[in-house]
Amino acid sequence: MMDEKTAIWVLAGLNGLGPAGVKRIIEYFGSAARVFDTGRGQLVDSNLFTKSMIGQLNEKRDWEAIRNLLEKSTPSGAGFVSISEPEYPEKLKNIHDPPPFLYFKGSLDVFDGPSLAIVGSRRPTDYGRRIASRLAGELASTGVLIVSGLAFGIDAIAHQAALEAGGKTAAIFGCGLDYIYPRAHSTLASRIIESGSLLSEFPKGTRPERFNFPVRNRIISGLTDGVLVVEAAEKSGALVTANLALEQGRDVLAIPGNVESKFSYGPNDLIKQGAVPVTSVEDIMANFGWHKSEVFSRPDRDLSMLTANERTLFGYISVQPVHVDELGRKSGLSPAKTSELLLNLELKGFIMRKPGNYVVKA
């Protein structure tokens, strides 16, 4: 027997159709299952299918075997939702080419409220790290969902800051959910599941190939009210996401940067093209008309989550700015080790950077 999910699976597999085509067909016929009960003449009259596609639709198939393949495409521990189901995120459903299926771990309910994508360089400057962490944390503490791609750099910083603020965040994969990419973010991914969501349109076994990520980026922008670009070089995946957001009718916001830095090219250029310049969380809230009606309390600092070296270095930091070189002298650690530990403390939300290479307790 044919059901709606299985029918969508078959439609999505038609050569030459694609996600936009699947959406148009479901809207025209009212459901995917109805397509397979429609005569050839009506399929031709719809102007939605090529002759080749109609030939594929008319092939005899074992629906039970197809349903089994569908179930096997779901990674262990993941849920599976089709575009025809009410649980499918409404914002994403309304873009031009929404994925026919989504695999997820965690909750889909997090996508119902206000949300912002925060994207940027995989190798951000200290300035970029500070800004991304501060804005993501402040927004998450008010109930805004932070969406990004789990990559090194700005992505991971945004996810981490949202979690440390007691808020929610979602990571969108460019591979199957059975692959954590990058692997170094496995622990971060596990923490995200507890209060947010991991999401992918790719079935089990899909490796993190480079060409998957530009495709994935339309989901990052499509799930949100807008995209904030923190730092991005001239050729950057963050700019791809920003352009996709514009095509989807989403707002694009950008952090102004040092005009001499290559990592500021992307956001500065976006601002020249009309993106909203952002210097504070209030700029973001005002742009979307959001209000801080529900502010979550920041959890108490749990020093047990720090390594021994991190705890030692943290003991020399107070609410008064202290220079990084002074920390190195007091702790007896090498400059490289001091920088590494400070980055860890910043990502975990224990410290904040200040101009002039100073740090303070967060």
What does the pLDDT look like over 77-132, one tens digit per residue? 999 999 999 999 999 998 999 999 999 999 999 999 999 999 999 999 999 999 99
Paired with 172 in beta bridges are 199
Q: According to the model, what pLDDT value does residue 297 have?
A: 40
The residue-averaged pLDDT of 321-333 equals 84
Residue 97: closest CA among 222, 4, 220: 222
3 state DSSP class of 79: strand
The residue-averaged pLDDT of 15-26 equals 93
CA atoms of 157 and 143, how far apart (whole Å): 18
- Of the listed ranges 7-21, 274-288, 305-319, the least confidently predicted one is 305-319
Q: According to the model, what pLDDT value does residue 19 have?
A: 95
- Helical spans, DSSP H, in 107-236: 126-141, 154-164, 186-195, 212-222
Q: Strands 79-82 and 115-119: what pairing?
A: unpaired
The top-scoring range by mean pLDDT among 127-131, 311-315, 330-334 is: 127-131
Count of residues making up the chain: 362
Q: Does the pLDDT of residue 57 top 60, yes or no? A: yes
The residue-averaged pLDDT of 159-167 equals 95
Residue 91: closest CA among 199, 207, 206, 249: 249
CB distance 5 to 70 below 8 Å: yes
3 state DSSP class of 118: strand
The residue-averaged pLDDT of 12-16 equals 91
Q: Does the pLDDT of residue 358 top 90, yes or no? A: no
CA atoms of 50 and 119, how far apart (whole Å): 38
Average pLDDT value for the chain: 91
Q: According to the model, what pLDDT value does residue 98 have?
A: 96
Q: According to the model, what pLDDT value does residue 294 have?
A: 45
Six-digit token string for 171: 């990571």
The residue-averaged pLDDT of 164-189 equals 96
CB distance 89 to 11 below 8 Å: no
E strands, 268-331, where?
276-277, 322-323
3 state DSSP class of 104: strand
The residue-averaged pLDDT of 288-314 equals 71
Domain 109-288 has CATH 2.40.50.840: no
CB distance 289 to 263 below 8 Å: no
Q: Does the pLDDT of residue 303 top 60, yes or no? A: yes
Q: Does the pLDDT of residue 176 top 70, yes or no? A: yes
Q: Provide the whole-model pTM.
A: 0.79
Q: Does the pLDDT of residue 293 top 60, yes or no? A: no
Q: According to the model, what pLDDT value does residue 301 have?
A: 61
Q: Does the pLDDT of residue 203 top 90, yes or no? A: yes
Paired with 200 in beta bridges are 103
Q: Does the pLDDT of residue 319 top 70, yes or no? A: no
Residue ranges covered by each domain of the chain: 1-72, 109-288, 303-361
Is 189 exposed, middle or buried, given 0-12, 13-18 or 19+ CB atoms closer than 10 A?
Answer: buried
CA atoms of 48 and 24, how far apart (whole Å): 8
CB distance 219 to 103 below 8 Å: no
Q: According to the model, what pLDDT value does residue 298 have?
A: 44
Q: Does the pLDDT of residue 295 top 60, yes or no? A: no
Q: Does the pLDDT of residue 361 top 50, yes or no? A: yes
Q: According to the model, what pLDDT value does residue 156 have?
A: 96
CA atoms of 186 and 206, how far apart (whole Å): 17
Question: Greatest CA span in the chain, whole angstroms?
Answer: 82
pLDDT tier at 1 (50, 70, 90 boundaries)? low
pLDDT tier at 330 (50, 70, 90 boundaries)? confident
pLDDT tier at 351 (50, 70, 90 boundaries)? confident
- Between residues 296 and 72, the one the model is more confident about: 72
Six-digit token string for 161: 């800051």
Residue 115 main-chain phi, psi, to 5 deg: -150, 150
CA atoms of 243 and 209, how far apart (whole Å): 21
CA atoms of 12 and 99, how far apart (whole Å): 9
Q: According to the model, what pLDDT value does residue 356 have?
A: 73
Tell me which CATH code domain 303-361 carries: 1.10.10.10
Distances (CA, A) of 69 to 44, 64, 205: 29, 9, 13
